[in-house]
Structure 1
Amino acid sequence: MRTPGSPVFAAYALCGFAHVASMAIFVGGAAALAPSRKWDIASVGFGALVAATLACLMTACIAGVFFMGKSALLG
């Protein structure tokens, strides 16, 4: 079902750090700081991706609570 707020909710849900490239940057940067713990850092990468996805979805839910019916940015 498409509501007037759907573009706003989708923008908040999709415009975050919940993608594979961010996970690779995190793992690469942290592994550069602690090369001996590289495999430990890589093992938490997928969990961090899931947590980032949930954070983006929760942000979209909060945007839905405060949405007043008209979006200035998305038309």
Structure 2
Amino acid sequence: MSRSFISTANGHVVEDDEGVEVPNCDPLRNVVRHTLTAILHDEGAIDGATDCGARADDEDGKLVMQARAGIDIMGR
């Protein structure tokens, strides 16, 4: 594995044009996890976002990994 480009979506899509160098899927999984966690933390505080997604594509544009994260809070 070489460079992966992680695009995110939480109501709007943000395309990654820099990418990240990773040796295999394990570090990529960590990058995707941290990215989604940061979006839920930062954007949720601003606009109440509770659902987001990410996709990692290789340099040829082929899907390598896809993830979704969300938070549902119920109660009074």
Q: TM-score, normalization: structure 2?
A: 0.33
- Structure with the greater alpha carbon radius of gyration: 1
Which structure shows the bigger proportion of residues in strand conformation?
Answer: 2
Structure with more relative contact order (C-alpha pairs < 8 Å, separation 6 or more): 1
Q: TM-score, normalization: structure 1?
A: 0.34
